[in-house]
């Protein structure tokens, strides 16, 4: 008997580096249940960063980061937070800040929700600059 396919929700996310002209952006496809820790690693790769500075995610005034970074006392653990817990409707946004000293801010915009199977792998499908 053939096993039924396991479907996963795939988020189409447009990542825009704020404050740049012309805009620097990437479009990535990631699973809805990706942890913010893994999303951080993905963003480091697709944006060409070197993972040499502190970072945090901000959603509705809640800050989420790596607990080992000690960026504040009321910061949620990115290892235990999944993207789909923070944004779930098309048009929803999340802020990713890299290098808290220089403050590189990235807007993550949920553009679309697709369905994939269990073999889905996250990927960068477009970008500029």
Domain range 7-128, CATH architecture = Roll (3.10)
**pLDDT in the model for residue 57:** 96
Contact indicator for 14, 30 with CB cutoff of 8 Å: no
- φ/ψ of 41, rounded to 5, equals -60, -40
103's tokens: 């403050």
Low-confidence ranges of the chain (pLDDT < 70): 1-4, 70-73
**pLDDT in the model for residue 8:** 95
Convert the pLDDT of each residue in 18-44 to its tens digit: 999 999 999 999 999 999 999 999 999
Residue among 123, 98, 93, 97 nearest 108 (CA): 93
For the four alpha carbons of 57, 72, 55 and 30, in that order, the dihedral sign comes to negative
* Domain ranges (residues) in the chain: 7-128
**pLDDT in the model for residue 5:** 80
**pLDDT in the model for residue 73:** 65
**pLDDT in the model for residue 34:** 98
**pLDDT in the model for residue 25:** 98
């Amino acid at each position: 008997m053939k096993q039924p396919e396991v479907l996963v929700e795939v988020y189409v996310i447009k990542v825009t580096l704020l404050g740049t002209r012309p805009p620097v952006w990437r479009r990535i496809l990631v699973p809805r249940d990706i942890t913010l820790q893994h999303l951080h690693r993905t963003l480091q790769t697709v944006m060409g960063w070197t993972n040499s500075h502190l970072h945090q995610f901000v959603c509705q005034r809640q800050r989420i980061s790596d607990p080992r970074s000690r960026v504040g006392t009321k910061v949620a653990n990115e290892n235990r937070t999944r993207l789909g817990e923070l944004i779930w409707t098309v048009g929803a946004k999340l802020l990713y800040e890299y290098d808290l000293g220089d403050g590189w801010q990235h807007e993550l915009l949920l553009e679309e929700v697709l369905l994939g199977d269990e073999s889905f792998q996250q990927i960068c499908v477009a970008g500029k600059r």
